[in-house]
């Protein structure tokens, strides 16, 4: 398996977000491998983005986002959910891409156990909190490097522009004017009904 090299993540955040679509997210868990195709992401950046955790500079919570691209930033939200983000750009810049949804590929029954119920495949990881629960991603994974030892992202051909769509981001009140959500338009694993958006 060929995992994405560090240089992949050191590029502009919107470029990384767009090119993460179609790649395979891999989670190593004891002797088990869980994986899924990335079908939906959102970009966040400290500059010009009022919804970004880094908009006011480094804190104890967000310091991972200021590391060099390729680290995993995991945060806890609403007192109950974890969300995972791929850190982007050079060290010192607060930016990351939220992984919103995957199409489960490998270890589906283990994912179902993690989700604590008889969930259909389509509902296992069609949202950022569901995804973290399915892959057992939590506080301990915050700050790891995506080299494949604990988690990593496998390379795959770039998804053609005609198969992509972009829109405003979901579940935020600030920064809604930014069309920084990217998703595979035909995928049934996208997190919710697809709003009308401009083609990438």
Give me the long-range contacts of 12-16 (CB less than 8 A, separation at least 24).
12/88, 12/89, 13/43, 13/44, 13/45, 13/88, 13/89, 13/95, 13/96, 13/97, 14/43, 14/180, 16/43, 16/69, 16/86, 16/88, 16/97
Start-to-end Cα distance in the chain: 29
Domain boundaries, the chain: 6-184
Give the pLDDT of residue 197.
Answer: 43
> CA-to-CA distance for 65 and 56, rounded, in angstroms?
12
pLDDT given at position 200: 36
Q: Which residues of 27-36 are buried (b: 16+ CB within 10 A; e: fewer)?
A: beeeeeebbb
Radius of gyration of the chain (CA): 15
pLDDT score of 23: 98
State whether CATH 3.30.70.260 applies to domain 6-184. no
What tens-digit pLDDT sequence spans the chain (200 residues)? Answer: 799 999 999 999 999 999 999 999 999 998 899 999 999 999 999 999 989 999 888 898 899 999 999 999 999 987 779 999 999 999 999 999 999 999 999 999 999 999 988 888 889 999 999 999 999 999 999 999 999 999 999 999 999 999 999 999 998 888 888 999 999 999 999 997 544 444 33
Coil, helix or strand at residue 152: strand
């Amino acid at each position: 398996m060929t995992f994405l090299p560090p240089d992949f993540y050191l590029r502009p955040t919107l470029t990384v977000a767009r090119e993460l679509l179609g790649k395979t997210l891999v989670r190593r868990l004891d002797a088990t491998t869980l994986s899924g195709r990335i079908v939906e992401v959102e970009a966040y950046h400290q500059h010009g983005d009022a919804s970004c955790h880094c908009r006011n500079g480094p804190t104890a919570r967000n310091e991972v986002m200021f590391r060099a691209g390729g680290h995993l930033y995991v945060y806890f939200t609403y007192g109950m959910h974890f969300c995972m983000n791929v850190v982007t750009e050079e060290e010192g810049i607060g930016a990351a891409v939220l992984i919103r949804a995957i199409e489960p590929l490998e270890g589906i029954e283990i994912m179902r156990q993690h989700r604590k119920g008889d969930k259909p495949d389509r509902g296992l990881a069609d949202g950022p909190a569901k995804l973290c629960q399915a892959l057992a991603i939590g506080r301990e994974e915050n700050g790891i490097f995506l080299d494949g030892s604990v988690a990593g992202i496998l390379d795959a051909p770039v998804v053609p522009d005609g198969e992509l769509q972009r829109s405003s981001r979901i579940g935020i009140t600030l920064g809604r004017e930014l069309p920084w959500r990217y998703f595979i338009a035909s995928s049934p694993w996208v997190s919710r009904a697809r709003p009308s958006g401009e083609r990438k």
